[in-house]
Structure 1
Amino acid sequence: MSNFTEMDSYLFGQATHYEIYEKLGAHVCKKDGKKGVIFDLWAPHAKQVFVIGQFNDWNETSHEMEKLGADKNGIFELFIEGVKEESLYKYLIITEDGRKLYKADPYASYAELRPGTASAVYDTSNFKWTDKRWMNARAKKTEEDVYKEPIAIYECHPGSWTRHPGRNDDGFYTYEELAKKLVPYVKEMGYTHIELMGIAEYPYDGSWGYQVTGYYAPTSRYGKPDEFAAFVNECHKEGIGVILDWVPAHFPKDAHGLAEFDGEPLYEYPDPRKGEHSDWGTKIFNYEKNEIKNFLIGSALMWVEKYHVDGLRVDAVASMLYLDYGKQNGDWVPNKFGGNKNLEAVEFFKHINTVVLGRNHGTLMIAEESTAWPKVTGKAIDDGLNFTYKWNMGWMHDFLDYMKLDPYFRKNNHNKMTFAMSYNESEKYILVLSHDEVVHLKCSMINKMPGYEVDKFKNLMAGYAFMMGHPGKKLLFMGQEFAQLQEWSEKRELDWYLLENPKHKYMQDWVKALLHLYQENKSMYELDHSWKGFEWINANDADRSIYSFVRRSEDGKNNMLFVINFTPMERIDYRVGVPEKKTYKLVLNSDSTRFGGDAANKKTSYKAEEKECDKKRYSFAYPLPAYGVAIFKF
């Protein structure tokens, strides 16, 4: 009896075979009492398919696959006795016109370490999870719970976070070593989640994992699939969520990959005007075809359900939504209504987000979407895309434009820091300072800052405080928490030696203090998407480039007042208006000695008096240092 049944074929053809990875690919099993591996491949245009690998010395004709009946939708199948786990293999596809194609398995669970391109047999069912408490708590979360919880994400490229010196295998830390070193660091710093770049298998290091060939395989650069599972398990044990970058927008043209898989366009649109990103040199998935949608949906579900991943950050969403994205007139095909929206991609997003979130309560689907497309986080029933969160690229660009300015010119650009609040309720946002902003001659975060070295550090401290106080969940790319000087490169580890310099250690301590303050106070995250959780005290102090605002919790307890000075001018007589006649306790002060300041101001408690300021009835005076940040609790 075939492993791939008529029901499998039907569901696959409807894009609703949500465990398709259990059927297609290579699976260790027993047949007629004999142990081996059953191989199933979807290749509807192929004339013949052979399995070649270590088990048969790569013999091209000894193991031909059987094409299942017409109702099986182009499935080829073969059981081979005695194939050992981790054996390398490929499919040799003979095309209708007689060409030979040597392809990796699109559904492989594991892959050969690059530069090798073969797939590897791996049984992923043996890992013993011990994160039941985490998974049960996750499953109990409602949608509202997710929006009200703190989310502070450490974006990390595992291969360059740190490395072993002098090793001839690139010095990569393994999944096991990352679990022992990265996870405690993230927890100590006060992040809630790790977002990992480049986990799905990919051939070229320089793509950072954004040109995927193995959508079902954790990259072998850092170890085996079970070792990746153990990393996720350890994160959960330590209370850290795991988010993966996931790339359903495009795929590379590498000969062993998905491009023209069975001799004809299969995974990509057949018309190159729809099926290629010429700027990126990649192919675009064919979202019209149910089997392709199923391939992608199955991949997403596998990471979330089989590997217990807590969320997916979906890359390059805008490139999927717009048919003319990055293309010139004549190089793209309008939709049936004559517009530039990719209607199939829109439906794909509604489908995948509804399924992933519906089956896995408490998980996240995050859109990296750079345009003003409406309702990215809106409900599918209301014609939204149904993402949990959207990266706030508009906030990021405005923030960075402002932070790069000489303080003298900031007064004329004051609205760059206030504008994002005008649209804050339109989506559920994550504020991001991602890897894309510290590569390709854009400078590291510290070197974007104007002024002398001492000013750069104070500027960045003020900027991070503004980000932490502003509504929206948070994401910061690795290295920027201690003011990495060099731009990021995947070819080397972060410059951890900088922490021997007190200025860099002070920055790391500042970010750590901000993150812990964030996690410990509901007012800083509970009402991120509502004006109930935020109030400008003074959004218009352009001449002094000072911003003051309040963050509120639902129960009105532990509210926070932020005062941030973005100039080198000390304001000894600074007075801030406040909403209530209360005592305001200074809980974080950038001028403290623990962050390299002189802590001239020892006072930590300020009682509001009935004296009008900032159009408020009450106020108090506070000596605000140059580039000073003062955060009060009331």
Structure 2
Amino acid sequence: MPPSRLAPTDLYLLREGTHSRLYEKLGAHPAQEGGVRFAVWAPNAARVWAVGDWNGWSDADALAPREDGSGVWEGTAAAAQPGHAYKYRILTPGGEVLEKADPFAFQAEMPPATASRIWAGAHDWGDGEWMAGRARRNGLDAPIAIYEVHPGSWRRGEGGRFLNWRELAPLLADYVNDLGFTQVELMPVTEHPFYGSWGYQTTGYFAPTARYGTPEDFMAFVDHLHRRGIGVILDWVPSHFPTDAHGLARFDGTHLYEHADPRQGFHPEWNSAIFNYGRNEVRSFLLSSALFWLERFHIDGLRVDAVASMLYLDYARAPGEWIPNVHGGRENLEAVHFLRELNTAVYREHPDAFTVAEESTAWPMVSRPVGMGGLGFGMKWNMGWMHDTLDYMAEQPVHRKWHHHRLTFSLVYAFSENFVLPLSHDEVVHGKGSLLGRMPGDDWQQFAGLRAMLGYMWAHPGKKLLFMGGEFGQRREWTHDGELEWWVTDLSGHGGVQRWVRDLNHRLRDEPALHRVDFSGAGFEWVQADDEDHSVYAFVRQAEGAPPVLVVSNFTPVPREGYRLGVPRAGTWEEIANSDAASFDGAGWGNFGAVETAPVPAHGRPQSLVLTLPPLSTLYLRGPLSNGATT
């Protein structure tokens, strides 16, 4: 029998909960002597076999338990080869026979089939230039505009079939580069049995879904985007997993990966199992999954899903349906420990990558270093900004003055975390309609309102994320069955939104004031925050050594002429972006390209501008480098 792949150090780290490369040790790996070496953690199993295509799914290849008490079973199947489908057949202590997919499988069968596949492929990477320079592109001072994509419904092939990764790569890269987004974020591509879960019910934590091709195909996809200057972020789901019979639930006949008590181990909102973060081997499994995607697939960042559900023991539970922690509190101390370990490992091994938390509460210091007492994420989704902004925009313009400070409130806490501003898939599903459909009024007002909101978003402190379809104002609610309504981009209004998003992305890249200081109050200054009667907001974005940018939004359908605003510098302020421009299918109101300051005090500043504010619009005006200077 070939020697075990598990060294004493591996077993120590596995038991400690800090092993971050278990995928090199467990699972199915071709052996140098021939055949395939299998290893699986199933400490409570009575017997384990590797069954698959090579042995007619028989009990011919039994695995043996290690004698060190680790709970790992291993053995070699001499006839097994890459490409073969396989599972682990497990005899439980109670005499039940289970057939489980490999938790560490690198490839899976095409759903609805559920077996794992032996994989030993490779990819000849050509993204060395990207990898060498990605620290700069992923930096907190970088312009970051993320395009969120569901691969199965962005575009489809003939007959409505899924595009594979190699087909998708050039199409997506061309589109993302044309519109100026800096990264794409893929909704989970880890293997999942139910397509309608959008990947958030994961069974294969080391396998890209077979729906879009092989692991090599996905590597080629990432490589292609990198060569085209585009980063790739993955949604990753360590918060819960489905209870499908072939998956992790009751893996060896016991609650191995999940808590046994449903008050801890079952998620009532998603009907799924919750990982037991207090079990060291489970933490090693999840750490290894995270590092796997960064190392083997060159992924640039992980957006960690449903962090709030991990942090709170009473999440989505009524009184009496949860178990307090050892201090009597509602905080999940084991999950906190795991998240800190996760972020420590990611930034230790890949300091040029990043992590983002989808955390919907006010948990403190989510994006602050572990050494400071934080959770260690690089960034956090700003769910409060999202809800306040969409709620405000849904109001009829005549009523917005009564809700004026929904928009200003985000600046009270904007620099408490490193925020991403998300308009994600969650905002265009389950009866919520589309972003365009949330704008009140007739067609003209809806398109103008959407452009104005996006202009405000792109100037607000924080990195940007927009779900596919929002960039051209798709009117239909998103559905995973079928592709986006691409045909509408040729229509007036939709094409204007698309061109406006393209312009915003290029402004974000070109103007350091709009991206360099996103996470400090030094980069933001209110000019007008209290004009409720006119629903006008004005602020300045600034960065040392760069021209400041004045941002003005008028969220009523009434143009405002002769509107005076104080500015920090004297000289010419160039109108560099106007959501009402005719090129974006607007009405064409504006300021003829530039406005000169006058020595008239306003808003606490000695110099001011007199502007025309188009209806339902956002303007960007770039100021001089210094008083009286030109840009």
Within the candidate set 59, 62, 65, 1:64 is matched to: 62
Letter in structure 2 aligned against 1:179 = A
**Whole-Å separation in 1 of the counterparts to 2:366 and 2:587:** 46
SS of 1:159 mapped into structure 2: helix
- List per-residue Cα deviations over 1:268-317 (Å, max 9, x = no partner): 01222111112211110000111000000000000011111000000000
* Shift of residue 554, structure 1, vs aligned partner: 2.3
Residue number in structure 2 paired with 1:146: 139
In the TM superposition, residue 442 of structure 1 has moved relative to its aligned partner by: 0.7
Partners of 2:600 and 2:206 in 1: how far apart? 63
Provide runs of 4+ in structure 1 moved above 6 Å.
none
Assess if the C-alpha contact under 8 Å between 1:565 and 1:626 holds in 2. yes
Please name the residue that 1:624 is paired with. 613
Letter in 2 for 1:626: P
Query: C-alpha separation between the residues in 2 aligned to 1:278 and 1:397?
Result: 24
Give CA deviations for 1:525-558 in whole Å, capped at 9, x if unaligned.
Answer: 1111111111111011110001111110122x22
- Counterpart of 2:576 in structure 1 is 587
Give 1:601 deviation, angstroms.
Answer: 4.5
Alignment of 1:11-160 (within 5 A): 11-31=13-33, 35-59=34-58, 61-71=59-69, 73-124=70-121, 126-138=122-134, 146-160=139-153
CA contact (8 A) 2:55 2:79 kept: no
Counterpart Cα distance in 1 of 2:384 and 2:56: 55
User: Aligned partners of 1:536 and 1:177: how far apart in 2?
Assistant: 46
Alignment of 1:553-572 (within 5 A): 553-555=543-545, 557-572=546-561
Distance apart, 1:198 and its partner CA: 2.2
Indicate whether 1:548 and 2:544 are aligned.
Answer: no
8 A contact 1:527–1:554 mirrored in 2? no
Paired residues of 1:4 and 1:40 also in contact (CA < 8 A): no
Whole-Å Cα distance in 2 between the matches of residues 130 and 355 of structure 1?
26
1:324 alignment counterpart? 314
Q: Tell whether the 8 Å contact from 2:448 to 2:586 is kept in structure 1 after alignment.
A: no
1:600 deviates by 5.2
Query: Does the Cα contact within 8 Å between 1:377 and 1:384 map onto a contact in 2?
Result: yes
Q: Cα deviations across residues 315-358 of structure 1 (Å, max 9, x unaligned)?
A: 00000000000011111100000000000101111111011011
Equivalent residue number for residue 416 of structure 1 = 406
> Whole-Å Cα distance in 2 between the matches of residues 187 and 632 of structure 1?
25
Query: 598-607 or 446-455: which moved more?
Result: 598-607
Q: Equivalents in 2 of 1:8, 1:616: separation in Å?
A: 64
Consecutive unaligned residues of structure 1, counting only runs of 5 or more, are none
Give me the whole-angstrom Cα distance separating, in 2, the residues matched to 1:630 and 1:386: 36
- Alignment partner of 1:464 out of 442, 451, 454: 454
Q: Which of 239, 253, 257 pairs up with 2:243?
A: 253
Amino acid at match of 1:161: W
Letter matched to residue 77 of structure 1? E
Instruction: Figure out how many residues of one structure are paired with residues of the other and give that number.
Output: 621
Shift of 1:593: 1.9
Where does residue 627 of structure 2 map in the other structure? none
Q: Which amino acid aligns with 2:128?
A: K
Q: Would the aligned equivalents of 2:449 and 2:617 in 1 still touch at CA under 8 Å?
A: no
2:157 corresponds to = 164
Q: Which residue identity is paired with 1:128?
A: D
In the alignment, what sits opposite 2:523? 533
Deviation at 1:141, TM superposition (A): 5.1
Percent identity over paired residues = 46
Secondary structure of 1:146's aligned partner:
coil
Deviation per residue, 1:407-466 (Å, 9 max, x gap)? 011111110111111111211100010100100011100000001111000000000000
Q: Is the 8 A contact 2:575 2:591 kept in 1?
A: no
Query: Equivalent residue of 1:65, what SS?
Result: strand
Given that 2:421 and 2:463 are in contact with CA atoms closer than 8 Å, whether structure 1 keeps it comes out as: yes
Task: Confirm or deny: 8 A CA contact 1:95 1:263 kept in the other structure.
Answer: yes
Distance in 1 separating the partners of 2:290 and 2:342:
8
Partner amino acid, structure 1, of 2:605: K
Q: Distance in 1 between matches of 2:6 and 2:521?
A: 53
**CA 1:602 to 1:377, structure 2 compared with 1: closer, same or farther past 3 Å?**
closer
SS at match of 2:62: coil
SS of structure 2 residue aligned to 1:84: coil
Distance in 2 between residues matched to 1:278 and 1:417, nearest whole Å: 33
